[in-house]
Amino acid sequence: MRGLWEAAREALASSRPTFRLELPDDATRAAVGELYGRPMWGEGTRISVSKLDDAVQNRFGVGISQVLEALHGSVEVAGPAAEFDDELLPVLDEHGLAGASWAGPWLRWVRQYGRIGEAELTGIAHAAARVLASMSLTEPPRSWTSRATLAGRTGFPHSLDDGTALSRVVLKAASLAQGVDLPGNERDRRALWERCGVAPDAVSATVLTWALPVSGDDAWSAVVRARTELGLPAHLTHLDLEAAPSRLVASGTPIAVCEHPRVLEAAVREGLRHPVICLNGLPSTAARELLERLTAEGAVLHVHADFDWPGVAAALTAQRHGAVPWRMSADDYRAALDRAAQDRTDLPNLIGAPVPTPWDPQLAELMSTTARAIEEEQAMQPLLTDLRQGL
């Protein structure tokens, strides 16, 4: 374990959120993996200081600083301004970022690996600081800004497109703040942008809605109501939500949130005017922004999802944005199992790692024991009955 502790001490002393660890043999991989809480493969890996701190807390009951002090003596942790005297620190300080743990490592990286000419460096640092100050670097985002809108604040609407110098240095700061590796492909870049409250664009992420009782007398609200009158759902994008009126619905409005599009389709075809939002799997950034906004307006959101682990994860995400579980108890799962047995419906095996159900811990236990998944479509009739009667 000597290499782990030495590398952790260096990372802590320099306020780096992650560090590279060499794993020269099977014994080292096994020992580090047992402590860190995941299998180790290959000859090296990247370790998060915060995750390592959690691991030693769970194992020894003390934090990483106390462990390193016992092994090596006290570790002096310098703040970015003290440990790194850089003329660009005042640029970060203008935006309240100079004291961030990632500031010093980021400035060193920008100078050494950012491929920025000396003449451009100050301008890039100013633009990056403006962008980073608008991102959710350490807290989960509650709303999302499109990348083009964020770039527009620098005066150049395409400055954050993939491959630009500004996007490269901004993503490096985001990766340091989030404790993850700098993304090397489009999927990982998109995920990192979204983790920091930035939608890669304003039109691709959508949320499917039906019969939203919008209360405004503006053109936007009139279009949504017109689609409902025509019996058509509405796909809302971030651009739609930007153009929407400041208030969407009246306080206290009950809204159903489902995972499967078939539930929303059935409500449309039966002419049920109860408002429904469909997550269509794990909620998109547009769906999460809509849920957050409706909750802030006082709407009462009720979420139902598949009885499988991805479905539980989707319900948990919706719950974090204000929704309450709807027919998602252990009794509801048991009733769905009984209906399937009575109807001789084949149920798929429940696969994947269990996900906790804090609103009803017995649900996760029963699902694990029964090991059968129930798609929302197979539990549709009770949901439609609730929509007819009003949640």
Please, which pLDDT band fits residue 12 given cuts at 50, 70 and 90?
Answer: confident
**Average pLDDT, stretch 240-256?**
96
CB 7 within 8 A of CB 1: no
Please, which pLDDT band fits residue 18 given cuts at 50, 70 and 90?
Answer: confident
Q: Kindly tell me the sign of the dihedral angle through the C-alpha atoms of 305, 311, 315, 317.
A: negative
CB 48 within 8 A of CB 20: no
Pull the structure tokens for residue 320. Answer: 């974090």
160 has a pLDDT exceeding 90: yes
Phi, psi dihedrals of residue 46, rounded to the nearest 5°: -105, 130
CB 192 within 8 A of CB 180: yes
Whole-prediction pTM: 0.73
47 has a pLDDT exceeding 60: yes
β strands within 181-320, DSSP E: 198-199, 206-210, 234-237, 254-258, 276-278, 300-303
C-alpha span between 50 and 38 (Å, rounded): 15
Phi-psi region of 146 (alpha: psi -120 to 50; beta: other; left: phi over 0): beta
Give which of 287, 246, 242 is closest to 152, Cα–Cα.
Answer: 242
182 against 112, higher pLDDT:
182
What per-residue confidence (pLDDT) applies to 217? 94
What per-residue confidence (pLDDT) applies to 76? 58
Composition of the chain by helix, strand, coil, percent to 5: 50, 10, 40
**Average pLDDT, stretch 101-113?**
86
Which of 2-11, 194-203, 228-237, 380-389 is predicted least confidently? 2-11
**Average pLDDT, stretch 25-41?**
89
**42 C-beta neighbours (distance < 10 Å), count:** 7
15 has a pLDDT exceeding 90: no
Q: Each residue of 171-211: pLDDT tens digit?
A: 999 999 998 888 889 999 999 999 999 999 999 999 999 99
Q: How many CA atoms lie within 13 A of 126 on its CB side?
A: 8
Give Cβ neighbours of residue 138 (< 8 Å, ≥ 6 apart): 177
Pull the structure tokens for residue 244. Answer: 């929407």
77 has a pLDDT exceeding 60: no
79 has a pLDDT exceeding 70: no
Give Cβ neighbours of residue 70 (< 8 Å, ≥ 6 apart): none
Average pLDDT across the chain, whole number? 90
Give which of 78, 36, 30 is closest to 53, Cα–Cα.
Answer: 36
229 against 50, higher pLDDT:
229
Pull the structure tokens for residue 195. Answer: 């983790």
Q: Each residue of 54-73: pLDDT tens digit?
A: 788 778 877 787 888 888 77
What per-residue confidence (pLDDT) applies to 83? 41
What per-residue confidence (pLDDT) applies to 124? 93
Which of 37-46, 196-205, 216-225, 338-347 is predicted least confidently? 37-46
Which of 148-162, 226-240, 331-345, 366-380 is predicted least confidently? 148-162
Domains of the chain as residue ranges with CATH: 2-72 (no CATH), 80-199 (no CATH), 206-389 (3.40.1360)
Please, which pLDDT band fits residue 19 given cuts at 50, 70 and 90?
Answer: confident
